[in-house]
Amino acid sequence: EVQLVESGGGLVQPGRSLRLSCTVSGFSSGDFSMSWFRQAPGKGLEWVGFIRAKRDGGSTEYAASVQVRFTISRDDSKSIVYLQMNGLKTEDTAVYYCIRGGYGDRFDFWGQGTLVTVSS
Amino acid sequence: QAVVTQEPSLTVSPGGTVTLTCGSSTGAVTSGHWPYWFQQKPGQAPRTLIHDTSNKLSWTPARFSGSLLGGKAALTLSGAQPEDEADYYCLLSYSDTRLWVFGGGTKLTVL
């Protein structure tokens, strides 16, 4: 059974950093592209970025709103995909979702999301 | 960046048919935008209903179908059920910029 479980969310002050984890099971994380989406409270969905599968070189792409500040990486030995968020802003407050897919793979399975609140 | 547009809200009667659309500020939506449709119910994570314009996932109810219609991506619900009341989001790929862009979502009411 495919499962994705996000963790690492919480309250953080503006300008600080936070790292989210997405632990996957039921498939090999390196065999698929993996993406992060987010949803601000009461708002719509926003694509954050993706990391390509190993077969495609494992490179990354990001939305303009997070380019430079956010980094997606993976540790396939642990079946974890990370979202490193630096220089957080209040507008980064959202539920962050991990999704399988994004480049060469369809978006199919979603995690349950983890809430990040950026506030002083 | 491209802007993806959806109807903010729609209402359908139980058992009725409704079509949600997804347009692009850059022109006609084509299969090359790899259109997706997602459903989100209150308090839940979204789930994928349609990928690549018209392809369903194993959990997608048969009453949902995807297509291209009049230069837009479309999601048609035939035989609406009360449990279909939800927010629906479309997602398009802009491969020239390697970006994915969501529409603002359609709040579908079954009433």
Q: B56-89, pLDDT tens digit by residue?
A: 999 999 999 999 999 999 999 999 999 999 999 9
Query: Looking up tokens 């380019």, which residue turns up?
Result: A67
Helix (H) and strand (E) counts for chain A?
0, 10
Asked if A47's CB is within 8 angstroms of B100's CB, the reply is yes
Q: CA-nearest residue of chain A to B34?
A: A106
- Could you give the CA distance from residue B111 to residue B108 in angstroms, rounded to a whole number? 10
pLDDT reported for residue A2: 96
- What DSSP state is assigned to residue A30? G
Query: Rounded to whole angstroms, how far apart are CA atoms A62 and A21?
Result: 17
Of A39-48, A81-90, B18-27, B94-103, the poorest mean pLDDT is in B94-103
Tokens 């209903």, residue located: B49
With beta carbons less than 8 A apart as the criterion, state whether A87 and A74 touch. no
Enumerate chain A positions whose Cβ falls within 8 A of a Cβ in B.
35, 37, 44-47, 50, 61, 63-64, 97, 102, 106-108, 110-113
Output DSSP code: residue A91. G
> Which of B51, B87, B101 comes nearest A106 by C-beta?
B51
Judged against a pLDDT cut of 80, whether residue B95 lies above it is answered with: no
Q: CA of B87: which chain A residue's CA is closest?
A: A44
Above 90 in pLDDT, residue B97? no
Contact B48/A45, CB-based, under 8 Å?
A: no
| CA pair distance B69, B109, nearest whole angstrom | 22
